[in-house]
Amino acid sequence: MNFLRTSLMVTLIGVSSLMAKPTIAILATGGTIAGSGTSELKSSYSAGAVTVDKLLAAVPAINDMATIKGEQISSIGSQEMNNQVWLKLAKRVNELLAQPDIDGVVITHGTDTVEETSYFLDLTVKSKKPVVFVAAMRSSTSMSADGPMNLFNAVNVAINKETTGKGVVVVMNDEIHSAREVTKVNTSSVNAFASPNSGKIGTVYYGNVEYYMQPTRKHTVASEFDVSKLEDLPRVDIVYAHPNDTDVMVKAAVSAGAKAIVHAGMGNGNPFPLTQDALADAVKKGVVVARSSRVGSGSTTLEGEVDDAKYGFITTTTLNPQKARVLLMLGLTKTSDKKALQKMFLEY
């Protein structure tokens, strides 16, 4: 009799744990998804004006799928994103994902720099659990706001078993992108994101998730970067190339104390000759110079038109300048050895 009662209880516990909803932490940082304007037909608004509770209240359906725990990290337009918020966010996500009762994290963010913040977390989160960034191009008060459906889709991606181990992903406009690859490609359209080198890794349509690609570079648990004890990050500046360029921006970066410069070169990462000399001088002063490209896709190849060995440059391979900056900031917390940093650009 006792045996029967015990086995019945075990079965009931088993069934109820099978039916238990996953718990998802939603961390809000601001952005247009939390933007508020005075008219649903005007494009002007203030980013980050809506609190996490209001954001969640706009999508009640997510409570049927998961137990939701909202948290406000910051309330800024992502053009105001900075080292402090990056570190706070990465530390908090690691803390939450270490808890057995948290199954995944969704982060609401602005679109302007979501490609950088998501890549920063891709390199610093120490968990295989889902981490999903979501944003919007239309403010919460706009007609046909895209935020609610994007958030609904993001929670569906976060509770989907297949998201485990994929690294940090970004959900926008029914698409799932890997944080390493995704970039903003349009200033105003709801279809503002693409992964030019690899394509999206999946789709999410009214909550139905389909994956068909797997990120191959090192991320999350395979990454060597640890922010748990960091208070700040090394300064890395980006210098954008153009015909008839000068040495002014490179010199300004060096005298401002940049530890590294990412050069957004022309074509396959080519600097203007005068700028190239200034970059070579920067290397002699101990500044790391990484050649990226302003083109937006493709790799700055190890053996292109620039003799990297002669000038002491490294290349960022397929990372665009703003993502290369993120990897360099973290790389410099480990080493300033150029060979070691070049290796990171081939692995991450």
Ligand X SMILES: NC(=O)C[C@H](N)C(=O)O
DSSP state of 271: P
Nearer to ligand X, 36 or 333 (CB): 36
Q: Is 203 designated active site?
A: no
Is 135 near ligand X (CB under 6 A)?
Answer: yes
Token reading at 206: 């009214």
Applying CB under 6 A, does 78 fall inside the site for ligand X?
Answer: yes
By CB under 6 A, the residues from 85 to 104 that bind ligand X are none
Q: How far is the CB of 147 from ligand X (least distance, A)?
A: 9
Among 24, 131, 137, 290, binds ligand X (CB under 6 A): 137
With the CA atoms of 318, 320, 325 and 328 taken in that order, what torsion angle do they form, in degrees rounded to the nearest 10? 0
Tell me how many degrees the CA angle 267-348-86 measures, rounded to the nearest 5: 95
| CB nearer ligand X, residue 86 or residue 348 | 86
Phi, psi for 151 (deg, rounded to 5)? -70, -45
Of the two residues 16 and 187, which places its CB atom closer to ligand X in the complex? 187
Does the annotation count 111 as an active-site position? yes
23 is in an annotated binding site: no
Residue 60: what residue type? P
Q: Which two tokens stand for residue 108?
A: 């609401």
Cα gap 280→211, rounded to integer Å: 44
In the chain, the N- to C-terminal Cα span, in Å, equals: 59
Pair of tokens at residue 205: 């349509």
Which of these ranges, 106-114, 120-128, 288-296, 315-323, lies near ligand X under the rule CB under 6 A?
Answer: 106-114
Is position 147 an interface residue for ligand X (rule: CB under 6 A)? Answer: no
Q: In what order do the strands lie in the sheet with 236-240?
A: 236-240, 260-265, 288-293, 314-315
Give the C-alpha separation, 24 to 22, whole Å.
6
- Contact call for residue 172 and ligand X (CB under 6 A): no
Closest CA to 169 of 154, 149, 188, 187: 154
SS3 call for 113: coil
Residues written for the chain: 348
d(CA 109, CA 47): 10
Q: Judged by CB under 6 A, does residue 182 bind ligand X?
A: no
Q: Is 77 in the site for ligand X (CB under 6 A)?
A: yes
Q: Looking at 29, 108, 111, 124, which residue is catalytic?
A: 111
Name the active-site residue from 29, 32, 113, 124. 32
- The separation between CA 21 and the C-alpha centre of its own chain, rounded to angstroms, equals 27
Figure out which of the listed residues 22, 24, 26, 31 binds ligand X, where binding follows CB under 6 A.
31
Complex with ligand X: residue 47 or 278, whichever CB lies closer: 47
Our finding on whether 47 is near ligand X (CB under 6 A) is: yes
Is the dihedral angle over the CA atoms 164, 169, 170, 171 positive or is it negative? Answer: negative
Number of residues that bind ligand X (CB under 6 A): 11
Q: Which residue is nearest to ligand X (CB)?
A: 110
CB of 182 to ligand X, least distance (A): 14
> Of the two residues 44 and 255, which places its CB atom closer to ligand X in the complex?
44
Pick the binder of ligand X from 74, 94, 111, 318 (CB under 6 A).
111
Question: Which residues of this protein are in contact with ligand X, per CB under 6 A?
Answer: 31-32, 47, 77-79, 110-112, 135, 137
Instruction: Catalogue the active-site residues.
Output: 32, 111
User: What residues form the annotated binding site?
Assistant: 78, 111-112
